[in-house]
Structures are given as C-alpha cells and as structure tokens.
C-alpha cells in the first residue's frame, strides 16, 4: 500500500505589496497553523519517506514549521515545477517516485492541489469528500492510500481518502 499526503501551504501574507507571489512569506496565522498540522500528522503516524516541496517561500516555511516535530526529518526535494503546478503535472511527478518510497508528501498550492486530490479519490467518507470538494483551505492536509505497489499505477479514482484535516477542523475537535 502507498500513502500520498497533499499539504497546502499555510496562510501567507498579502501585506508586502511589492513582493512577488513566489516570495510571499507566511503571516502569523500561517506560522501558528503549520506546526499544528505537523503535529496532527505525527499523531496519526503519518511521517513521509519523501517530501516534494514547491520552491516558493510560503511552502518552504510551511514544511519547516510542520516538520519540526519529526525525528529524523524526511528526505526532501524542493522542486520549482511544483510552484502552482497543474494536477496533470503533479500526477506525472508522483508516477516518477521510486518504489522504495511508501509515503510521499507534496507541499504545494491551490487550485492544483485540491483538484488533484479530488481527481484521485475513488472512495472515502462522503462528508469529507464533499468538504474537500468545496474547499482545501490553507494548511489543509489530504491523506490518500492506494492499493498499489508502484507509484506508476496511481491515477484518477484509485485512491482512498483516509484523512482530510484543516486547522479549523482540529481546533473545533479540540474544543469538543
């Protein structure tokens, strides 16, 4: 079985108007949310073997803050092609993942990440699928599993949605 985690970058700042989109850093809310999501993944036993991360400032910061609890930190590749990548490009990249990797994480951007997740889902909790279809908010995490031994076999409707979590969902659950 293979596991794919899709992690949308945390909330970024729009205050610096002279900064290009690629260079926008996280804002205070994003800096608080990223470690919460990293802790969620750790508590679920979801530590990736390999992380593919967009090279933008906000994705790098999200990963750094989220992975602070992981020991040892997973192998990471920063890839410019993941910056605002289309779902088709992400699928092509996932299919090139070596078979030794059983859990792959992509840290990236919307709208591509959300569309990619929805395209991959073949089964899972209908309420979570509906929620994900409506929105993949900043710092949102989607975890899919595949009954496959090779990443080359990953494709539309072949995944099972195991988790869809957001900072808001986790804070609501903690308040109950």
CA triple 70-76-167, angle to 5 deg: 50
- Residue 77, pLDDT score: 97
State the burial class of residue 135 (Cβ atoms within 10 Å of its Cβ: 0-12, 13-18, 19+): exposed
Host H or E run for residue 175: helix 167-175
Q: Which of 19-28, 46-55, 66-75, 146-155 has the lowest mean pLDDT?
A: 66-75
Q: How large is the average pLDDT for residues 33-45? A: 93
For residue 175, pLDDT over 70 is answered with no
The confidence score (pLDDT) of residue 174 equals: 63
> Is the Cα dihedral 24, 84, 104, 139 positive or negative?
positive
**Tens of pLDDT, residues 15-31:** 767 778 899 899 999 99
SS3 at position 54 = strand
Helix (H, G, I), strand (E, B) or coil at 45: coil
Instruction: Please write the tens of the pLDDT for every residue from 99-131.
Output: 999 999 999 999 999 999 999 999 999 999 999
């Amino acid at each position: 079985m293979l596991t794919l985690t899709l992690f949308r970058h945390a909330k970024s700042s729009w205050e610096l108007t002279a900064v290009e989109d690629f260079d926008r850093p996280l804002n205070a809310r994003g800096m608080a949310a990223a470690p919460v999501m990293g802790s969620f993944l750790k508590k679920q036993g979801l530590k990736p073997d390999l992380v593919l991360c967009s090279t933008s400032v906000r994705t790098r910061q999200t990963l750094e803050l989220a992975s602070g609890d992981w020991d040892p930190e997973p192998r990471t590749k920063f890839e410019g092609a993941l910056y605002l990548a289309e779902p088709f490009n992400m699928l092509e990249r996932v299919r090139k993942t070596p078979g030794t990797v059983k859990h792959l994480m992509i840290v990236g951007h919307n709208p591509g990440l959300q569309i990619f997740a929805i395209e991959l889902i073949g089964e899972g909790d209908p309420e979570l699928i509906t929620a994900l279809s409506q929105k993949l908010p900043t710092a949102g995490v989607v975890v899919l599993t595949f009954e496959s031994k090779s990443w080359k076999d990953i494709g539309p409707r072949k995944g099972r949605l195991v988790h869809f979590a957001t900072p808001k969902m986790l804070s609501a659950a903690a308040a109950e």
